[in-house]
A = this chain, B = another copy of it.
Amino acid sequence: MFSIGALSDRTGVKIPTIRYYEEMGLMPEPERTAGNQRRYTQAGLDRLGFIKHARDLGFTIEAIRALIDLNDRPDHSCATANAIATAQLDDVRAKIARLQRLETELVRIATHCDGKGRASDCYVLTSLADHGLCETAH
């Protein structure tokens, strides 16, 4: 049996976060000691590892809840898991595309200002005031 601190040490998930996952229904309610402290089994540790890995990959709590439900029903079709993973990939790709457009603009903005001029003719301020100077839609 593991205390909540032991789980935290083994997974890198902070203690309040583990309690938060419990409240959100991702972690099952564990057994308690006579003094009301949580005690986890190996299954609890494994589940927290699953949650952490999914969070590290950017899945939302809601998506993880669906994935865990599926994990608990081995005979069920994995179509939902596939849909969730694919949606997450699409989301990540959309975010990358947007950030690359921002990068383009920020490179332009940062390179046209050396930080040594006055605010009145600073390219950073000018280009924030005028989207017409931008090269991309963003």
| Residue pair A113, B75 in contact (C-beta under 8 Å) | no
Q: Known contacts being A67-B128, A85-B110, is A96 close to B93, with CB within 8 Å?
A: no
Copies assembled: 2
Q: Which residues of B contact A129 (CB under 8 A)?
A: 46, 49-50, 53, 71
Pick the contact of A106: B73, B77, B88, B118 (CB < 8 A).
B88
For window 21-66 of chain A, which residues contact chain B by CB distance below 8 Å? 46, 49-50, 53-54, 56-58
Of chain B, the residue at the smallest CB distance from A46 is B129
| Residue pair B116, A79 in contact (C-beta under 8 Å) | yes
Of chain B, the residue at the smallest CB distance from A120 is B74
Chain A residues with a Cβ closer than 8 Å to the other chain, count? 55
Q: Which residues of B contact A71 (CB under 8 A)?
A: 119, 125, 129
Main secondary structure of the interface of A (DSSP, over half): helix
| Residue pair A85, B114 in contact (C-beta under 8 Å) | no
Question: Is A13 an interface residue when CB atoms closer than 8 A count as contact?
Answer: no
Mark each residue of chain A from 65 to 105: 1 if its CB lies under 8 Å from any CB of chain B, else 0. Answer: 00100110111111101111110110011011001101101
Listed A/B pairs (13) with beta-carbon separation below 8 Å: A49-B131, A56-B131, A56-B138, A75-B120, A77-B118, A78-B117, A78-B122, A78-B124, A81-B113, A81-B125, A85-B113, A86-B110, A89-B103
